[in-house]
Amino acid sequence: MLECWQRSGGFVVKILFDTRKIQDYGIGVYIRNLFQGIADRGDFECRTIHLKSTDYLDLPRESSIEVTAKNYDFREHAEIPWKTRMYKDYCYFSPHYVYPLFISQKLFVTVHDLIHFKFPHLFRPAVRVEVGKFFMRQVQKKAAIVFAVSHTTKNDLRDLFGFDESRVKVIYNGIAEIFFQQEPHPSVFDFPYVLYTGNLKPHKNLSALIKAFSLIKDRFPDFRLVLAGVLPDHAFKQSVAHLGIADKVVTKGYLAQQDLIRFIDGAEFFVFPSLYEGFGFPPLEAMARKKAVISSPGGSLKEVLGDNVLYFSPDSAEELAEKIALFIENAGIKKDYEIKGFAHSSHFRWDETIQQYASVLIDK
């Protein structure tokens, strides 16, 4: 069992949370909900590795260990071990498989996905993939437990790197309660739209989505495609112009959670074309807001979403176009997916996720 101290008659597990990626999309959601939830339980003594100029967890500021080195910055391998050297009786919880190599604490790591290794051709320069492989081997050697957010990720760890399955614990993520609690908001736009939330990384497969939308733009001239979280680069702008839909695609950068909910609420339905996901927050969040979802089955998406979304082959823009048209034209089918999607999303709650993590951390 982890080193503990006694407080008020009970034993408290000491833990260092690496929160440096708190403002990332997927990992940031994970940090805010899981780490905060564990800290709020009261049976853990928590400190955070906090990156200057980023958000804090809701903990006393004196519990933060301030650092300047981000993930992938070579300085993290010196700065963080040095600043945590007096906390040897804590464990170190990294929400990402790239961690400070020379830490002295017992290590717990979460692996969200292995996209770099499943689709290495999508990531340049190639050295990034090789660096990732190096860190994955270090995790394999040092981590006491590796948390995986889906069985898909666990299987990938076994198949690609030979991880011992007994050291990999699968615990699904949760959906923040705010997605279930708020009443629907009026649309932020005065036109009907199809929504995607995420980013512009190659594996998100936005090329298929914009191609599909271009195929139906004349059938549904009032509709727009809204891409939230997307900062369009030159290549993307060229693509939408070439497809003749520059005036029908709306892009928005990072959205705070409350704004994200408003964008979801105003959408006719949600589309998620990703080639591969380790879990898949965006479609579940849309389902929690009672929106029908069209999704690729890539990676863990079929595992996590079950039979509660309308699937399409991620390499067929034509099939995606027809599925989008089906939801626009058939309100009954869309309603069926809204109902069963919402029911399914309600099974993913952070309270249960936090309890499962806490049990593992206490036992180890």
- If one compares 123 and 359, the residue with the highest pLDDT of the two is 359
Q: What is the pLDDT of residues 248-289, one digit of tens each?
A: 999 999 888 899 999 999 999 999 999 999 999 999 999 999
User: What are the sequence ranges of the domains in the chain?
Assistant: 4-174+349-363, 178-345
Confidence of residue 11 (pLDDT cuts 50, 70, 90): low
Place of tokens 């963080």: 80
**CATH code reported for the domain at 4-174+349-363:** 3.40.50.2000
pLDDT above 70: percentage of residues in the chain:
97
Q: Which three-class secondary structure string do you get for the chain?
A: CCCEEEECCEEEEEEEEECCCCCCCHHHHHHHHHHHHHHHHCCEEEEEEEECCCCCCCCCHHHEEEECCCCCCCCHHHHHHHHCCCCCCCEEEECCCCCCCCCCCEEEEEECCCHHHHCHHHCCCCHHHHHHHHHHHHHHHHCCEEEECCHHHHHHHHHHHCCCHHHEEECCCCECCHHHHCCCCCCCCCCCEEEEECCCCHHHCHHHHHHHHHHHCCCCCCCEEEEECCCCCHHHHHHHHHCCCCCCEEEECCCCHHHHHHHHHHCCEEEECCCCCCCCHHHHHHHHCCCCEEECCCCCHHHHHCCCCEECCCCCHHHHHHHHHHHHHCHHHHHHHHHHHHHHHCCCEHHHHHHHHHHHHHHC
What's the rounded mean pLDDT across residues 121-132? 83
> pTM for the whole thing?
0.91
Residue 6 has pLDDT above 70, yes or no: no
Confidence of residue 25 (pLDDT cuts 50, 70, 90): confident
Decide whether 4-174+349-363 matches 178-345 in CATH topology: yes
Q: What is the pLDDT of residues 328-364, one digit of tens each?
A: 999 999 999 999 999 999 999 999 999 999 999 998 7
- Model pLDDT, residue 2: 41
pLDDT above 90: percentage of residues in the chain:
87
- Of 3.40.50.300, 3.40.50.2000, 3.20.10.10, 3.40.30.10, the CATH number of 178-345 is 3.40.50.2000
Confidence of residue 124 (pLDDT cuts 50, 70, 90): confident
